[in-house]
Amino acid sequence: MAEAQIHPTAFVEDGAKLGKGTVIGPFCHIGAEAVIGKNCELMSHVVVTGATTIGDNAKIYPHAVLGGDPQNGRHKGGHTTLEIGKNCTIREGVTMHRGSDNSIGKTVVGDDCMFLAYAHVAHDCILGNHITFSNNVMIGGHVVIGDHVIIGGGGAVHQFVRVGHHAFVGGLAALVGDLIPYGSAIGVHAWLGGLNIIGMKRSGLERAEIHALRHAVPMLFDRSKPVRERAIDVLAAYPKSKAVADMISFIQSDDNKRSFCTPKMGSGNMAGV
């Protein structure tokens, strides 16, 4: 820890590991099992507790609490972890909990993520890379979120729900069903309002793939058959589209434990499709 800078009012417990160039600001509390990478900045009043690992170049703002016990009544106090990747920005009042010992035992956050003020990541969640949570976003336990997902302010995701990569969840939306990759969910409870066209363009997805998805999604959710049966028809209709195949793989995965986020009944054409 000799090469880290620690403010005199901060408390760093014996056993904590701090990387070169890391700065621990005033009134921070770093637990004995914490491992913090290189060139991180913890501004002030930050708490890092439990078996929490934070990657290089993190910037953590006041009153964030990382690695707290899971809010899970079945957790019996076993050793669990929180893993946060590199280059993450964690704003004021953000909370992230460790995994629970009756589940996968870890909460994982990928690289290059941004969590705005008072966002919450619950126990046993798995988050990919380049994710943005706006202010006051809340996700329940066991949620899986793919790369490049954006969740608008006050958005909430129900426990065990999956959010596919490059999807968008609108502000104040309450998502209770799995959201397909590239999907755009809005409303309370959130419904599938179309595709995240802007996000797809920003990510460099080819025009032909976007075109295929815009035709495939209405076909997938036309209600003539259950979604999983329609998925087979969609895949047959667009056999050369990697993006469609990726979306159908998400639909057919054995990991889903909840229903899918679908369009509103009688909504006609979906926005963004």
132 pLDDT band, cuts 50/70/90, is very high
Mean pLDDT of the chain: 95
Active-site pick, 63, 97, 120, 123: 123
Chain centre distance of CA 113:
9
Domains for the chain: give ranges and CATH numbers. Answer: 5-142 (2.160.10.10)
CB half-sphere exposure, 165, CA atoms < 13 A:
17
pLDDT surpassing 90 at residue 273 = no
pTM for this prediction:
0.93
At residue 209, the 3 state secondary structure works out as helix
How far apart are alpha carbons 203 and 169 in whole angstroms?
Answer: 17
pLDDT score at 70: 98
Q: Are strands 191-195 and 183-186 parallel, antiparallel or unpaired?
A: antiparallel
Q: Which two tokens stand for residue 70?
A: 């899971």
Active-site pick, 56, 112, 124, 147: 124
At residue 198, the 3 state secondary structure works out as helix
> Any catalytic annotation for residue 112?
no
pLDDT score at 254: 80
> Any catalytic annotation for residue 63?
no
Active-site pick, 25, 85, 93, 141: 141
Strand order in the sheet with 17-18: 17-18, 35-36, 51-54, 81-84, 106-109, 126-127, 144-145, 162-163
> Any catalytic annotation for residue 141?
yes
How far apart are alpha carbons 208 and 189 in whole angstroms?
Answer: 32
- Nearest 5°: the CA angle 227, 162, 259 is 35
pLDDT surpassing 70 at residue 270 = no
pLDDT tens digit string along 7-52?
A: 999 999 999 999 999 999 999 999 999 999 999 999 999 999 999 9
Closest CA to 218 of 232, 230, 201: 230
pLDDT score at 184: 97
pLDDT tens digit string along 215-269?
A: 999 999 998 899 999 999 999 999 999 999 999 999 999 877 788 999 987 655 5
- Nearest 5°: the CA angle 98, 254, 162 is 45
pLDDT surpassing 60 at residue 136 = yes
Lowest-confidence pick of 85-94, 158-167, 223-232, 249-258: 249-258
- Which amino acid belongs to residue 145? I
Provide the β-strand partners of residue 120. Answer: 95, 138
How far apart are alpha carbons 121 and 236 in whole angstroms?
Answer: 38
